[in-house]
Amino acid sequence: MARIQVPKKGIFTCNSSTAEEAVQYLRQVSLGCQRSNMSNMSNMHWFEGMLRLTTLGKETLNQSAVNGRWCGMVWSSGLQQENLQAVKEWTLMLDEPWHGNVLLSCGPHKLEPNQQLPEFDADFVFANYSWLSSGPPINIAATELRGITIEQLSSLLVFVEDVASSWCAAHHLGYGQPLSFEAFNLYHANFWVIGPATAGHGRGGCSYVELVATSAQMQRPLWFVSHAWLEPVCKFVACLKCHASLRQLPDQTAYWVCAYANNQHQLENEICNNPRKTSFYRAIQLCAGVLLVLDENATPFTRIWCCFEESIAVEERNKGTLGVDFDLNPLLLDVAATENGRAHVITDGLAGAEQEMMPLLGFLAKSRREAEFPTEILM
């Protein structure tokens, strides 16, 4: 008997043999919920096989009424009124969308469809990536045009917050240890979300931006983000929110972030020996500036790719080689980091309201703001 955790929905127990059978079973139950909308409780024949719902380890249904499980067909005539209401409430919780990919995992292992469930002696985790998008991916052929908005990143955070604690680390550092939302970084996101959510779309998968986009035009980036993947995603998003607010950027401003912009299934198409022919460099050409996001160890300063990205902003900002008028619009370089749950940004020049002040007052406001930046991470 396999126990499957469905985040925020409960634990489902079924007697499926393979991962594919278990997922198909959950799908049948979900589609049954959608078809009936629970309006006709006298006929619940779409509950096939055996299924029991629990939440936080506590039985949801009255054991004496349904023997703790739904076996074969369950008819409302055999349930007391209060148990009927419990069935209605909990079956509606499995009303899932099914247009996207799904994943069944156990510990650090992502299961293949034909993998046998009895091979594992722990609970399984079900992830439905349909929650991340509203429909099929949108093709954005030019990788440099695949920026991601803060709203799209916030939706990712909601998804991760629901399921992160059910997943385990799958890399050498902390392998097999439970993850947490607060520590969930981009390496974890790439393994558990970006990769499986975008696999199989088109000929060779798609980028995360293409998966969640509703309009290609809305994804054109205004800022390029340079970072080392090690900061928790929640802190990364906090830095972008702080930066967008400080720079007074429009709500739908898109940031170019490599993990979300590149097709992780075809990285050989994005990276080559000449860094000036990569999607990274082409994206910087389109942007107003580079935002460097630092983790607590300032890891980007030890990464050659990050150093290359910063060098473009520092060395080429006045050369006019990036296709814009740098006398009027120099390529900017801002730096962001978090401390004690709060994001801070050092800006290249005055930003936002500071630009509307008298110059002396503007720079005074900037110095006071930046005095709170956690400079110890730079030491």
pLDDT in tens, 240-294: 999 999 999 999 999 999 999 999 999 888 877 788 888 898 999 899 999 999 9
DSSP assignment letter at 42: T
pLDDT in tens, 7-43: 888 888 888 899 999 998 888 877 665 554 444 433 3
Q: Quick one: pLDDT at residue 25? A: 85
State what percent of residues in the chain have pLDDT above 90: 57
Average pLDDT for residues 315-340, to the nearest whole number? 69
Determine how many CB atoms are found less than 10 A away from the CB of residue 229. 19
Return the amino acid letter for 241: K
Q: What are 176's two structure tokens?
A: 């097999």
- How far apart (Å, rounded) are the C-alpha atoms in residues 228 and 217? 27
pLDDT at residue 33, rounded to an integer: 56
Per-residue burial over 319-356, b = 16 or more CB atoms within 10 Å of its CB, e = otherwise: eeebeeeeeeebbbbbbbbbeeeebbbbbbeebbebee
Q: What pTM, to 2 d.p., does this model score?
A: 0.82
In three-state secondary structure terms, 220 is coil
What pLDDT, in 10s, does the model give residues 153-165? Answer: 999 999 999 999 9
Give φ, ψ of 126 to 5 degrees. Answer: -105, 130
DSSP 273-299: SSGGGSHHHHHHHH-SEEEEEP-TT-G
Q: What is the mean pLDDT of the chain?
A: 81
CA distances from 3 to 14, 26, 95, 115, 335 (A): 7, 12, 19, 15, 46
57, two tokens: 């380890």
Q: Output the pLDDT for position 11.
A: 85
Residue 78 has pLDDT above 90, yes or no: no
> Beta strands of 155-265 (E only): which ranges?
221-226, 254-256
How far apart CA 300 and CA 283 sit, in angstroms, is 18
At residue 83, the pLDDT reads 47
For residue 105, report the phi and psi dihedrals to the nearest 5 degrees.
Answer: -135, 165
